[in-house]
């Protein structure tokens, strides 16, 4: 067992992945916390996760529960760090014993975005020619786009954001699908050619928000991170995460969501699709935003009654067969 590593009580150690996007997000959290707590010192400790190391295999084949979070979680449990900053969409809905989701920050636009090769600057997703090759590493995006655009071709793409853009620019793809939030945070918003409507592609659970994970019962750290909690975002994301947890799907299962809060009422739209895009089940629940987690469960049960579990069982079996 790893020995505990103590730190001065005025120091807070933040765990982060080493990727450019992860660091931009972590530096933002560090700066915001420093503003709120000028008497504390916030240190960043970086580490590579399994998901950062395995770049030549499709995510669906290696399973991604905790793929981008496990090493960061070990760091907290062994007291090497006090908290970790995650893209909330990467954080599994069931956390390891001893850890908790301490805070959810205000969300960027959670939509998916189309980035095109220069030769398609005059096209939209709807007008790309038959056979155009679209790059995505997400089964959620793949299933929805196959459902709406069966005439397009789809090809897996891995690597960090710069690597994916380079592969596109070199002509390996006609277009790629990325998260609006990541491009915006890296100040690459000029590469966004089209923001994809939720009618076409419901986004990933938690997409666009940051989740700050820390040790359960560590009141000092919990009080610090709560300063960045954004209640409307937290309610929306808790509903989404509850929906995903109830369906027992990882991020690499075609489950998509969209949420909104208006006058205390939370609207949650959720969908489950087959990998070939032939079947897509979608429904909506509306209720009080303080009942966010129950709304997620209710929607999951509604979709199950409409056949979602059969679709998910087929996908799990297919992934296990490799």
Residues designated catalytic:
90
Partners of residue 270 on adjacent β-strands:
257, 283
Q: Is 279 helix (H, G, I), strand (E, B) or coil?
A: coil
Counting every residue, how long is the chain? 322
CB contact at 8 A, 140 and 146: no
Distance separating alpha carbons of residues 119 and 140, to the nearest angstrom? 26
Residue 192's φ and ψ, nearest 5 degrees, are -75, 115
Rounded CA Rg of the chain: 20
- Give the Å distances, CA to CA, from 295 to 20, 262, 284: 35, 15, 10
CB contact at 8 A, 134 and 153: yes
CA angle 87, 106, 226 (to 5 degrees): 90
């Amino acid at each position: 067992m790893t020995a505990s590593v103590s730190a001065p009580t005025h120091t807070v150690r933040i765990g982060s992945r080493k990727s450019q996007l992860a660091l931009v997000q972590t530096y933002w959290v560090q700066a915001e916390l420093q503003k709120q707590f000028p008497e504390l010192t916030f240190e960043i400790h970086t580490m590579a996760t399994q998901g950062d190391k395995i770049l030549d295999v499709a995510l669906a084949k290696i399973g991604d529960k905790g793929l981008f979070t496990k090493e960061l979680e070990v760091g907290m449990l062994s007291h090497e760090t006090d908290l970790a900053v995650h893209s909330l969409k990467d954080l599994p809905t069931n956390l390891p014993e001893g850890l908790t989701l301490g805070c959810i920050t205000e969300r960027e636009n959670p939509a998916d975005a189309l980035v095109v090769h220069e030769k398609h600057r005059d096209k939209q997703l709807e007008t790309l020619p038959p056979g155009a090759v679209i790059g995505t590493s997400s089964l959620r995006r793949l299933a929805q786009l196959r459902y709406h655009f069966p005439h397009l071709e789809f090809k897996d793409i891995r690597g960090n954001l710069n690597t994916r853009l380079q592969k596109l620019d070199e002509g390996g793809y006609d277009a790629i699908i990325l998260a609006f939030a990541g491009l915006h945070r890296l100040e690459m918003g000029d590469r966004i050619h089209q923001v994809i409507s939720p009618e076409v592609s419901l986004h990933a659970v938690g997409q666009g928000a940051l989740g700050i994970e820390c040790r359960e019962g560590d009141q000092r750290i919990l009080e610090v991170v709560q300063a960045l909690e954004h209640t409307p975002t937290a309610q929306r994301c808790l509903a989404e995460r509850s929906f995903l947890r109830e369906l027992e799907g990882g991020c690499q299962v075609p489950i998509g969501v969209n949420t909104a809060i208006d006058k205390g009422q939370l609207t949650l739209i959720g969908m489950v699709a087959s990998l070939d895009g032939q079947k897509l089940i979608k429904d909506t629940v509306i209720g009080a935003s303080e009942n966010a987690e129950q709304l997620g469960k209710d929607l999951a049960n509604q979709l199950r009654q409409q056949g979602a579990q059969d679709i998910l069982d087929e996908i799990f079996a297919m992934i296990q067969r490799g």
